[in-house]
Chain A
Amino acid sequence: MHRFANPARFLRLANVALPWLAALAVLSLAAGLYLALFDSPPDYQQGDTVRIMYIHVPSAWMGMFCYTAMAAFSAMALIWKHPLADLLARATAPIGAAFTLICLVTGSLWGKPMWGTWWAWDARLTSMLILFFLYLGYMALANAFDDPGRGARASAILALVGFVNVPVIKWSVDWWNTLHQPASVIKMGGPAIDKSMLIPLLLMALGFQAYYFVVLILRARAEIAAAKIGTIRMAQVHAAGQGD
């Protein structure tokens, strides 16, 4: 793992992986969306409204996955002081926040016709809203200091503290009575979802996952380039100062 903490080595690897990941994202999203919208059956209870699931569920998974990745990168940044880990944690935050927002909005649009309400303060919905606020807090804190090092430390601690929310989201539907139904896919005894609907769902999830890595690499590349420009500018200022 420490081998990849070297930004130059990371960039080489990322540049090789990028076109493959982009192709995977485009293909699985195209196939997944086609199956989800046109070639999967309506649900026996919910009819065509069930198609919201193919966006809602993968974005919920990605909201939690991105937070887990952000917490892991933050731990690496705190313990081993890898600058790249801090950069990847920062690059993940807005992507995860966007997935979480999509999950909340599509969930609301789904809740109105099925449950009869846009929102309910049950444990699953509330913990997901807290996840969204954690992302916002992390991004605000990471950029709140003039000295980037202090912002990185404070936000990494916030990311780790907020991680306790992730298992709460996952098991909220089992621990307490909620309006939200229990897990359909990742549960004991196998998925409670028909194969004709599970396949488009998993394709969409794969596409979302690949999309995350594509955007992460693009953002990390831009950040590394920005850091290099900063170093060059500093060197120029230094050189000009010495020339006088």
Chain B
Amino acid sequence: MTRKQRRLYFVVLGLLALGAAVGLVLNALGDDMVYFYTPSQLQAKHVPPGRRVRIGGLVEQGSVMKAGSTVTFRITDNTAVLPTTYTGILPDLFREGQGVVAEGKIGTDGVLHASEILAKHDEKYMPKEVADALKKSGQWQGGKK
């Protein structure tokens, strides 16, 4: 084996070992790498009241109620729902059927008292006319609008 070949095998094996190690670490970190839990993940976890959590999902259709600057709504992942209340300025993209991430504490009443609301959007980009045409023709998928 020439020295060049030996160096080549060394680099390739080194990268494979490193890749495997990083893969195992990321796999072990698992849940700690997520930015938010969905409502059904939250139910499975039994988070004690008063702990700060980030919950993400869709704003349930027809659940938004505004009273002054306080808004209450339900976050859904189509399996579980979480009632949420928030006082403050909402992002522009906040609307029913839209993705949302709320950070706050879950009270003893089972309601998420959010101190921060972030809007999430999906990977689709299109002009308004195309979106309207898709909705009209019934080919609209996702967004649940």
Chain B interface size band reads: 35 or more
- With contacts A80-B4, A160-B15 known, is A179 near B120, CB below 8 A? yes
- Whether A175 lies near B11 (C-beta < 8 A) is no
- Whether A116 lies near B117 (C-beta < 8 A) is yes
21 chain-A/chain-B pairs, Cβ below 8 angstroms:
A41-B127, A41-B129, A42-B128, A43-B126, A43-B127, A44-B127, A44-B131, A45-B93, A50-B125, A79-B8, A114-B92, A160-B15, A164-B22, A168-B26, A177-B34, A178-B34, A181-B122, A187-B123, A192-B124, A196-B127, A197-B125
Query: Which residues from chain B sit less than 8 Å from chain A, CB to CB?
Result: 4, 7-8, 11, 14-15, 18-19, 22, 26, 33-38, 56, 90-94, 101, 116-132
* A213 contacts partner chain B, Cβ-Cβ < 8 Å: no
In the bound complex, what is the Cα–Cα distance between A75 and B125 (angstroms)? 38
- Whether B118 lies near A194 (C-beta < 8 A) is no
* A158 contacts partner chain B, Cβ-Cβ < 8 Å: no
- With contacts A45-B93, A79-B11 known, is A115 near B131, CB below 8 A? no
- With contacts A78-B7, A115-B120, A194-B125 known, is A176 near B33, CB below 8 A? yes
- Chain B residues with Cβ below 8 Å from A41 are 127-129
- Whether B123 lies near A184 (C-beta < 8 A) is yes
- Whether A78 lies near B123 (C-beta < 8 A) is no
In the complex, the chain A residue whose C-beta lies closest to that of B125 is: A193
What are the interface flags for A150-171 relative to B under an 8 Å C-beta threshold, 1 for contact and 0 otherwise? Answer: 0000000000110110001000
Distance to closest chain A CB from B8 (angstroms): 5
- Chain A residues with Cβ below 8 Å from B121 are 45-46, 114, 181
- Chain A residues with Cβ below 8 Å from B116 are 116-117
Distance to closest chain B CB from A47 (angstroms): 9
5 further interface pairs, Cβ-Cβ under 8 Å (given A179-B120, A192-B124): A116-B119, A164-B15, A175-B33, A182-B122, A196-B127
Interface 9-mer from A17-25, A119-127, A224-232: A119-127
Number of A-B contacts (CB under 8 A): 116
- Whether B36 lies near A177 (C-beta < 8 A) is yes
What are the interface flags for A81-118 relative to B under an 8 Å C-beta threshold, 1 for contact and 0 otherwise? Answer: 00000000000000000000000000000000111110
* A53 contacts partner chain B, Cβ-Cβ < 8 Å: yes
In the bound complex, what is the Cα–Cα distance between A127 and B131 (angstroms)? 32
Closest 8 CB pairs of A and B: A116-B91, A41-B127, A122-B35, A44-B131, A194-B126, A177-B34, A44-B128, A184-B123
Best-surrounded residue of B92, B122, B132 (most CB of chain A within 10 A): B92
- Whether B130 lies near A123 (C-beta < 8 A) is no
* Residues in A166-214 with C-beta less than 8 Å from chain B: 168, 175-179, 181-184, 187, 192-194, 196-197
In the complex, the chain B residue whose C-beta lies closest to that of A177 is: B34
In the bound complex, what is the Cα–Cα distance between A44 and B14 (angstroms)? 47
In the bound complex, what is the Cα–Cα distance between A104 and B105 (angstroms)? 30
